[in-house]
Amino acid sequence: KKIPTSNFSLCSVSTCEHLCYDRPSGYICSCKPGYILAEDGHRCIKEDPCKFGSCSQHCKAQGTSRYCHCDPDFELLEDKFTCRSIDSDPPRIIYTNRHEIRISNLYSRGSSVPLISHLRNSIAIDYYYEGPGELWLFWTDIAADIIYKGKLKGQILTNITLIVSYGIWTAEGLAVDWFAKNVYWVDSWLDQIEVSNFNGTARMTVLRGSMKNLRALTLDPSKGLMFWTDWEETNPRIERATMAGNDRKIVFRVLEVTSGGWPNGLTCDYFAERLYWIDAKSDSIHTIKYDGTDHREIIRDSSRLAHPFAITVFENNVYWSDWRVTAIIRV
């Protein structure tokens, strides 16, 4: 607020709840320790020591202090923030470039190895961890209209099996339920979400209707929840339901994000119970809680965000693939 007088304390007419400081252009409010300024710039609200970004995995508040701790199989590093896997096997990333599925050491650039080649157009992939050094991979091919699985041991993919080959048109998103050993997928041509067991039997439609352009799918089996993105032109959104298809609701309308509208990749942060997604129209990455609150923009206007497609999270990093940069990037 501007008050045209040189002998007047601007703070005398302020509405600051705690502290006020005079400035030539008007007063500015501040807060006592343990409080932060509310969005209105006047009120003070109690600061949450465990606010977003306080810890790598779990946070415990004690007064105005926070203490980070980790899940089993992770250790807290000396920075008292980072949770790092204690698995002796180095982490790897598995990805598809449409025509191949490849595996790479997460921390060694240029070490990519092909697992399978000569695919037609594979764009969705997920896995089931069977035991040390052994995974089952599941992937879709939207040109062949098929869902496959294969057993990965070390860097060798064997037992490649076709599990769904009929009544499927454009399975753009796929996710594995490791509790019940089921695989879910979204079909953007049929506008529905389906599920089957790992060998393709016991297949059923989980949700259908009020879907226009399904794209990505992610699950949190520990909570019994599934989330998906819809590119509908007038109402691009992120929705959620139980994995049985009940209690469906919209958790975030993407048009609320400036220039947003193409929610591409979607993934869960199971520790923080948050969703991360990529918007390929605004070339940005965002996160919200499972209930749609506490929206945060992670990154925008980066030269390495030209047309982001898929996303995942591991430890303290977000990883994404980009069709134009033709790379996998992390932040």
270 touches 290 (CB < 8 A): no
pLDDT value for 40 = 87
Whether 162 and 221 share a structural domain? yes
Whether 117 and 260 share a structural domain? yes
pLDDT tens for each residue of 79-103: 999 999 998 888 999 999 999 999 9
pLDDT band for position 166 (50/70/90)? Answer: very high
Q: Which pair of tokens denotes residue 242?
A: 């139980």
pLDDT value for 7 = 63
Predicted model pTM: 0.85
Which DSSP string do the residues of 266-315 spell out, in sequence order? EEEETTTTEEEEEETTTTEEEEEETTS-S-EEEEES-TT-SSEEEEEEET
Q: Cα(56)–Cα(68) distance, rounded to whole angstroms?
A: 7
29: containing domain = 10-46
195 touches 154 (CB < 8 A): no
Residue 3 lies in a domain: no
Q: What is the mean pLDDT of residues 114-141?
A: 94
Q: How many domains does the chain have?
A: 3
pLDDT value for 186 = 97
Dihedral pair phi/psi, residue 288, rounded to 5°: -140, 165
Residue 5 lies in a domain: no
pLDDT band for position 275 (50/70/90)? Answer: very high
Whether 76 and 143 share a structural domain? no
Closest CA to 297 of 283, 308, 311: 283
